[in-house]
């Protein structure tokens, strides 16, 4: 199975979103990564439900919604209705993570958990069989275009072991600062899904860039 590519539309041209989504539809994109920031959990505001709905009207690929918000439980159903196929909540924003994961699944979505750089993958051991996707943040969430944190490789390797030890089918996604230089090492460490924002959208030929990432062994 080849690595999955999830371009983050945070780095796309918001004034030409339809064109950007059509470009992704025509590419080897696996998931469209949708970054929701509330200005409370993270020090930035991106966009919310109406924009997600508008993206979904044109998208032919599943929406991978990354909620960087406090009280995510309050918005799960709304994001499902806006078109989310995968909903990832932050470990740091959930007091009752197990309950939140069940609520996401009851809506018919895949359930994801995102971890900030300081949060250990060991904390997911007891719920790993309930998680469809773990999003390991390789930057501090809030902004695109940041530098990749090298400790991520060790986290990916350890999480892969935990998944194996528990016989789980959880996918490992990496989010932040992904580019052609670190992608092969992330893949070798056990990454299943690579999010890429600025590396894709700031390139001169995003379709080719997605293809190049996708072809990583």
Task: Give binding residues as ranges.
Answer: 8, 33, 35, 66, 142-145, 175-177, 197-198
- Total residue length of the chain: 217
Are 20 and 13 in contact by the 8 Å Cβ rule? The answer is yes
Q: Considering only residues 69-98, where is the footprint of ligand DX5 by CB under 6 A? A: none
Query: Does the protein bind ligand DX5 through residue 38 (CB under 6 A)?
Result: no
Instruction: Quote the CA–CA distance of 208 and 100 in Å, as a whole number.
Output: 37
Instruction: Quote the CA–CA distance of 31 and 62 in Å, as a whole number.
Output: 5
Instruction: Quote the CA–CA distance of 139 and 134 in Å, as a whole number.
Output: 15
Query: Does the protein bind ligand DX5 through residue 199 (CB under 6 A)?
Result: yes
- As given in the structure block, the two tokens for residue 137 are 């943040």
Between the alpha carbon of residue 180 and those of residues 141, 148, 216, the distances in Å are 21, 12, 9
Instruction: Quote the CA–CA distance of 112 and 9 in Å, as a whole number.
Output: 18
Nearer to ligand DX5, 97 or 196 (CB): 196
Q: Considering only residues 152-181, where is the footprint of ligand DX5 by CB under 6 A? A: 175-178
Catalytic residue among 38, 64, 132, 175: 175
Region binding Zn ion by CB under 5 A among candidate stretches 14-22, 30-38, 42-50, 158-166: 30-38
Instruction: Quote the CA–CA distance of 210 and 195 in Å, as a whole number.
Output: 10
Pick one of 83, 112, 141, 206: the residue that binds ligand DX5 (CB under 6 A).
Answer: 141
Q: Considering only residues 66-85, where is the footprint of Zn ion by CB under 5 A? A: 66
Query: Is 38 marked active-site?
Result: no
Rounded to the nearest 5 degrees, what angle is found at the Cα of 14, between the Cα atoms of 11 and 16?
A: 115
Nearer to ligand DX5, 32 or 139 (CB): 139
Residue 10 binds which of Zn ion, ligand DX5, none (CB < 5-8 A, kind-dependent): ligand DX5
Query: Is 30 marked active-site?
Result: no
Q: How far is the CB of 165 from Zn ion (least distance, A)?
A: 27
List residues binding ligand DX5 (CB under 6 A).
Answer: 8, 10-11, 33, 35, 66, 139, 141-146, 175-178, 195-199
């Amino acid at each position: 199975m080849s690595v999955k590519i999830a371009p983050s539309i945070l780095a796309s041209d918001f004034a030409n979103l339809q064109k950007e989504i059509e470009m992704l539809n025509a590419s080897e994109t696996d998931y469209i990564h949708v970054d929701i920031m509330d200005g409370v959990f993270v020090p930035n505001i991106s966009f919310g439900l109406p924009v997600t709905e508008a993206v979904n009207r044109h998208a032919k690929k599943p929406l991978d919604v990354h909620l960087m918000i406090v009280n995510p439980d309050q918005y799960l159903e709304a994001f499902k209705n806006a078109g989310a196929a995968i909903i990832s909540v932050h470990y740091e924003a959930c007091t009752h993570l197990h309950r939140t994961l069940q609520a996401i699944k009851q809506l018919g979505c895949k359930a994801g958990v995102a971890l900030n750089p300081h949060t250990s993958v060991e904390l997911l051991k007891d719920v790993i069989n309930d998680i469809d996707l773990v999003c390991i943040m390789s930057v501090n969430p809030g902004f695109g275009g940041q530098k990749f944190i090298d400790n991520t490789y060790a986290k990916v390797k350890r999480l892969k072991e935990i998944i194996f030890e528990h016989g789980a089918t959880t996918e490992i996604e990496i989010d932040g600062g992904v580019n052609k230089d670190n992608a092969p090492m992330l893949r070798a460490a056990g990454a299943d899904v690579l999010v890429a924002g600025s590396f894709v959208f700031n390139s001169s030929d995003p379709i080719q860039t997605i293809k190049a990432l996708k072809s990583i062994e």
